[in-house]
Chain A
Amino acid sequence: MDIIVCIKQVPDTAEIKIDPKTNTLMREGVPSIINPFDLNAVEEALQIRDSLGDGKVTVLTMGPPQAESALREAISMGADEAVLLSDRAFAGADTWATSYTLARAIKQLGADIVFCGKQAIDGDTAQVGPETAEFLNIPHVAYVKKVEEVQKDSIRVQRLMDEGYDVVESTVPVLLTVVKELNVPRMPSLKGKMAAKKTEIKKMGMAEIGADENDLGMKGSPTQVRNIFAPQFKTERRMLDGTPEEQVNFLVKELKESQCL
């Protein structure tokens, strides 16, 4: 069973500061980490590989050349291969163009299971996983909290819901996005770290994935960011007076008038 894990290098939000003048993130000097949910995805992929005793785990990322360090970190945890999708044409991609690019690469590489974190902690869209599955035309299950059983042609997982969970069975190939409840990601190993230094990272660009420039990066992105700002709270607040009974009656009346009840 071949598994691809899509990972993203993100700024360590615990260390991040906001520029008070422009309201944008100050990225300079902020350490980069693997998106935490993606670590759960890597861990699960390694566990499945090790329990089945065959197949390989490939980590895949789209990003600038420095994203290579995130791939090497995944190798040091035990992943077998790493692929870096890097091309000037990929720059400025929204979730649509990113998913398209990832899907083209996954098609080239081939996989039975594709893992993604449920969302990245920088953009928080949670769209890239499911969109990638759509481009690949394979089923997906989002918010996986447990993988119950993996078979040659099917997989059974638990999907985290607001109250409890669903048990979902899917055919394979499948794409799964995972939540942190899934597992505890392992630490790197010394042998893994030594291997990671030597592992050759496969690089793929526009030509290698056979994509059209107009479908990639900024050009292929329907989303246009016009402005980034911190929302301001301007809600009206009122304190109620009187006995509890009077306050309740007033509250019910107001809620009815504002059509909340």
Chain B
Amino acid sequence: MDYFLDEEQLMIRDLARQISDEKIIPVRAELDEKEEFPWDIMKALAQSDFFGLAIPEEYGGLGKGCFELAIAVEELSRACLGVSTTFAANALGTYPLLLFGTDEQKKKYLPDIASGKRLVAFAITEANAGSDAAGVQTTARLEGDEYVLNGTKQWITNGGEAEIYTVIAMTARNKGPRGAAAFVIEKGTPGFNFGKKENKMGIRASVTRELIFENCRIPKENIIGKAGMGFIIAMKTLDSSRTGVGAQGVGVAQGAFETATKYASERHQFGQPVISFQAVQHLLADMAIQIEASRSLVYSVSKFIDSGAKDVTKESAMAKVYATDVAMKVTVDAVQVMGGAGYMREYPVEKMMRDAKILQIYEGTNQIQRNVIGQALIKETAKMR
């Protein structure tokens, strides 16, 4: 379907597709097999200015919004979700600075992020905090002109490879959620180390590590926003990034759908291509309907966010839930359409199916997203009374 993209949006889509076709698709199976971090691809994306997409022009970016980012992420995800996770996690880590950073912080970090010189990671999850964001136990104690951090973050995408980290920690644990703050911390700071690299079911080209803070001292200027704003910053960050996860869902579903459709028209049974059987056609038709519906929703919500709308929590949660549930269903069905071939590593759909699962889990499980939508509905109903 034609979404009436403007000339620059088409440029972004076409170049992302060119990079996918030439640089990602030929190596995706190997990256998955070896769990290899896609540095070459990150360099190509950097050279082509993709890391600067959503960063304002004054800081060396292209000044585009969530919509353009979604277009790029969708195309990369069509080729490999491991690669697109690495790319999208960078945007996630950048949002706290973009939305709440001081001018000095922006000047210091955004140009290097926009050029792709330094990767970024966002860290909130811990052993006892995830869906329950208020369970964060990492502390940041103010001592003179420095904050001293202690604690361990887990399952941090880009951990160890990124140079810049935006981290949520508690400045006043007794205040509960209102005692959190966001910080920017650079790799190499004494007391900041990395734990083991996780061995994952999917998105294996992306890297996931623990961040370990042991009396890690950072200048107090490294706080983003104010003490006490940590959870607001985290929630606003996730509001902006959810459409990116939705776009990942659209992309991986599209990739699996295209592979399955092509295979179904080539594979013969009972003397005819299997696509000529209604049982297969109906599977493919349902896949096509759901992909187009989730693309429409992700694009619409992205544009809604870019319009400057104040409260986008419910809509962005809807886009994330719908597009990622569709991604899971479509990738499973793609394997089914392809039968035995779909189950083999020779074809890309089994990887897409393994990869897709994470989308229903990370950046807020789809159950938590439904809670968020439910709470928004309660608020809206209360207002109507």
Contacts and interface: CB of A to CB of B under 8 A. Distances in A.
Contacts of A193: 11, 15
B44 A190 contact: no
B8 A188 contact: no
A195 to B, nearest CB: 11
Interface string A129-146: 000000000000000000
Contacts of B52: 190-191
A192 B52 CA distance: 13
A191 B51 CA distance: 12
B48 interface: yes
Contacts of A189: 47-49
B18 A187 contact: yes
Interface of B: 7-8, 11-12, 15, 18-19, 22-23, 44, 47-50, 52-53, 62
A69 B110 CA distance: 33
Give the secondary structure class of B's interface: helix
Contacts of A194: 8, 11
A188 B44 CA distance: 10
Q: Classify chain A's interface size.
A: 10 to 19
A194 B62 CA distance: 10
A186 interface: yes
B196 to A, nearest CB: 34
A239 B47 CA distance: 58
14 contacts: A186-B47, A187-B15, A187-B18, A188-B15, A188-B48, A189-B48, A190-B12, A190-B48, A190-B50, A190-B52, A192-B49, A193-B11, A193-B15, A194-B8
A190 B49 contact: yes
B22 A190 contact: no
A191 B22 CA distance: 20
Contacts of A197: 7
B15 A190 contact: yes
A186 B22 CA distance: 11
B44 A187 contact: yes
B19 A190 contact: no
A187 B62 contact: no
Interface string A164-201: 00000000000000000000001111111110010000
A138 B48 CA distance: 36
Given A190-B48, A193-B15, A197-B7, 12 more contacts: A186-B47, A187-B18, A187-B23, A187-B44, A190-B11, A190-B12, A190-B49, A190-B50, A190-B52, A191-B62, A193-B11, A194-B8
Nearest to B14: A193
B261 to A, nearest CB: 23
A191 B23 CA distance: 20
Contacts of A187: 15, 18-19, 22-23, 44, 47-48
Contacts of B8: 190, 194
A194 B57 CA distance: 13
A198 to B, nearest CB: 12
Interface in A221-257: none
A188 B16 CA distance: 11
A190 B50 CA distance: 7
Nearest to A78: B47
A187 B22 CA distance: 10
Which of B11, B52, B53 has the largest number of chain A CB atoms within 10 A? B11
